[in-house]
Structure 1
Amino acid sequence: MTNLNQLIVHHRSSHHARYSGYARLIDFLDEPQIIQGKNILPYRLAKGISQLSNQQAGLYDSKSVQKEVELYRLLRNTKTPGIVHYLNGERDVRYVLNYKKASRSTKFCASFHKPPEILKATVKNIRYLKQLDAAICVGANQVDFIKKWLGIDQVKYIPHGVDTTFFKPLIHKRSAKKMLFVGQHLRDFEMLNRTIPEILAKDASASLDVVLKKEFQAKVQLTSDRVRIHTGVDDETLKRFYQEASFLYLPLIDATACNSILEALACGLPIVTSAVGGNMAYLSGSENFLIPANDEEQFIATALSLLAQPDLCLKIGQSSRELSIRYDWNNVAKAVEVFYQEVLT
């Protein structure tokens, strides 16, 4: 990417493991300049400025202010054509977009992560977002909505990535009849709580590991001693859960991209999840299971069928691993950089 400044406005969700999350994109781009939000302004001043900003235009806190000051200084001192990429379009996007008036050689884009219904409900003031030149959607279900919502023509679905070097299968560690549920965002805990007792009652050897943040522990209302809840796990432990499970059991309310699905694919697991949002595009052409969101009986029947067929789990798991290569961060980063060039031309 010769003579192209890649200015990446960093954001990392606190619940993501070291090898998870969209911020991993930075590690695979060609010499990006990363705007982290250095403490340039006194904290109280930055906080005061953020409190004056309309929060209905997306999250904007003291760290957002520091990112804007840092970004503005970089833009002011460069004459090379460049792209500013907000890793999370649901936050941090504000006043530096006025810089567009002074520099036609700099283009602004953002990646969006929330499903359309959540975007509409949480970002009601779109005056700043409408100034973006382009948008990246991590879910195929976002594209038409973002185009219409923001009035942007250059909108592209580029999948979320996964680190297939870190997340990888270890077949000899597979444990018979062990299901795995990971995460909390947009998880369908009601479906989990309704179906797992039925599955465990019909298969006395089955068990479930649940990995999530401690503050969501109460969402899991399962009392069986074959249900184990784990919080605060480190990266290696998380990977081990994937590597030892028979399959990922993950009912969802909605989705764009789901880290847990991508990581499970990379670790060679079959996926049992809901036919919602971006899931269909991510699992397209695979042998994994997309179940209508309210079909309790099909969730139960699918889980019981897989629990009874370990060889089938291994077979589907192999195809899952092959599918995950499509989402390897190296491939995703290349697609993002091609998009940067499209936006600049």
Structure 2
Amino acid sequence: MIASVVRVPWHTAHGGYDRLLDHLPEVRRITPPTGPLTTRAARQAHRLFARSCPLPFYPAEHFATDLHLMASRKAAHVLYGDEQYWFSRRRLGPTAVTYHQPPAHLQQHLPPRTWRRLAPTAEHIVVLDPHQQAFFTDLVPCDRVHLVPHGIDTTAFTPPPAPPSSDRPLVLTVGWWLRDWDVLDAVHERLHRRYGGGVELIVVTRQARSRPWHPAVRVLEGVTEQTLIALYRRAAVMLLPLIDATANNALLEAMACGTPVVATDVGGIRHYTGGAAQLIPPGDAAAAAEAVEKVLAETGTAAHAVRRAAARERAELFAWPLVADQMRGLYRLLEEGR
């Protein structure tokens, strides 16, 4: 069994979907070479392939791993099908493909006619939430579509040894992809008007310079994993306003650190949070602010401790060893040709 690994550069050392393979030592990784393609022929081939690839982008790393995939007859797992599964659909060995994006974005990637041709070429498709499952079962038989959740490293992302201070509670937001910035800005404005400097507002994102922020907000970019974990542990509440989602790394990381979460009820968020988070309607800034203020009012109380324990307990259901065991069952089907 082999797996094609493309490391997402903004994930931390213990974050990201490829951490699944840390708990599947029997799977051989195919990783792209470091640095640019070394020969002129390889660079020319990559340009040719990239021009004919309909996926949003096809960097040299994907090309390099595709060459290995297509040359192997072994069963293989393409970890990021949204970005890579196109040329490797012609490989000789059986293939499982994981898709990460919500159905609406998958439909933007490729037209329906192309999806109807592409999806059946994978022997098995792995999805991360029920909405994706419904999308793919319209394209292939349902027994070939498997809901295996995204996981979290519950040994790296852990709660603090003591509850965070309630003197100046922190409202934390992490991430950039599919975030609802309008809702976030409105909540920040309302919190600042009501609490002033009595509440700390921090956003950790890759878009620190790409948009205006409320002047009371501290925006951080490129923080270390240790700093990020410290922020999760210190936060009174994690505010995650979203436009859409399947799994969400920041959500799972925060819950694993015992951080109470307020998130938009879209896509797969309810599937991952269960009853361990406050979910708000899409685009509803007033509801988001009220939910955050409710958690802030509980900071330092037994009710807040209950929220923190519930978040951690829910995250433990998605610990990578449990997810890896589910994936092994799929790998057996793949290798047996079923």
Aligned-pair distance for 1:305? 1.4
Task: Identify which of 315, 318, 325 aligns with 1:327.
Answer: 318
Q: Which residue of structure 2 lines up, in the alignment, with residue 242 of structure 1? A: 232
Q: Which residue of structure 2 lines up, in the alignment, with residue 263 of structure 1? A: 253
Kept in 1, the 8 Å contact 2:102–2:246? The answer is yes
Q: Which residue of structure 2 lines up, in the alignment, with residue 65 of structure 1? A: 63
**Is 19-28 or 118-127 further displaced after alignment?**
118-127
Aligned-pair distance for 1:247? 1.2
Task: Identify which of 5, 9, 27 aligns with 2:4.
Answer: 9
Kept in 2, the 8 Å contact 1:83–1:107? The answer is yes
Kept in 1, the 8 Å contact 2:208–2:219? The answer is no
Matches within 5 A, 1:1-345: 6-38=1-33, 42-54=41-53, 56-57=54-55, 59-75=57-73, 82-100=74-92, 106-124=93-111, 125-126=114-115, 127-149=117-139, 153-172=143-162, 174-176=164-166, 177-204=169-196, 205-213=198-206, 215-224=207-216, 227-284=217-274, 286-310=275-299, 311=301, 312-343=303-334, 344=336, 345=338
Query: For residues 214-267 of structure 1, what are the alpha-carbon distances to aligned partners after superposition, in whole Å with 9 as ceiling and x for unaligned?
Result: x4444352112xx21111101111111101111101111110000000000100
Distance 1:220 1:188, change over 3 A: farther
d(CA) in 2 for partners of 1:222, 1:150: 47
Kept in 2, the 8 Å contact 1:40–1:70? The answer is no
- Aligned Cα root-mean-square deviation (Å): 2.0
d(CA) in 2 for partners of 1:165, 1:329: 10
Distance 1:218 1:67, change over 3 A: closer
Tell me the secondary structure at the aligned position of residue 90 of structure 2.
Answer: helix
Query: For residues 301-335 of structure 1, what are the alpha-carbon distances to aligned partners after superposition, in whole Å with 9 as ceiling and x for unaligned?
Result: 11111111112222111111111111101111111
Aligned-pair distance for 1:34? 0.9
Which letter does structure 1 place at the counterpart of 2:323? Answer: V
Identity over aligned pairs, percent: 27
Q: What is the total number of aligned residue pairs between the two structures?
A: 324
**Is 115-124 or 145-154 further displaced after alignment?**
145-154
Aligned-pair distance for 1:190? 0.5
Distance 1:156 1:256, change over 3 A: same
Distance 1:99 1:300, change over 3 A: closer
Query: For residues 23-72 of structure 1, what are the alpha-carbon distances to aligned partners after superposition, in whole Å with 9 as ceiling and x for unaligned?
Result: 11111113211111346865423322323423x24543332222122223
Kept in 2, the 8 Å contact 1:255–1:278? The answer is yes
Tell me the secondary structure at the aligned position of residue 308 of structure 1.
Answer: helix
Distance 1:11 1:123, change over 3 A: farther
Query: For residues 275-302 of structure 1, what are the alpha-carbon distances to aligned partners after superposition, in whole Å with 9 as ceiling and x for unaligned?
Result: 1000011111x23101111222211111
d(CA) in 2 for partners of 1:122, 1:85: 21
Which letter does structure 2 place at the counterpart of 1:109? Answer: A
Query: For residues 71-125 of structure 1, what are the alpha-carbon distances to aligned partners after superposition, in whole Å with 9 as ceiling and x for unaligned?
Result: 23343xxxxxx4211000112223343334xxxxx42111110000000001333
Q: Which stretches in structure 2 are left out of the alignment for 5+ residues?
A: none
d(CA) in 1 for partners of 2:229, 2:277: 20
Tell me the secondary structure at the aligned position of residue 101 of structure 2.
Answer: coil
TM-score (structure 1 length as normaliser): 0.88
Aligned-pair distance for 1:157? 1.2
d(CA) in 2 for partners of 1:169, 1:153: 38
Kept in 1, the 8 Å contact 2:6–2:62? The answer is no
Query: For residues 123-146 of structure 1, what are the alpha-carbon distances to aligned partners after superposition, in whole Å with 9 as ceiling and x for unaligned?
Result: 333344431111111122110101
Distance 1:198 1:95, change over 3 A: closer
**Is 115-124 or 91-100 further displaced after alignment?**
91-100
Distance 1:184 1:220, change over 3 A: farther
Which letter does structure 1 place at the counterpart of 2:282? Answer: A
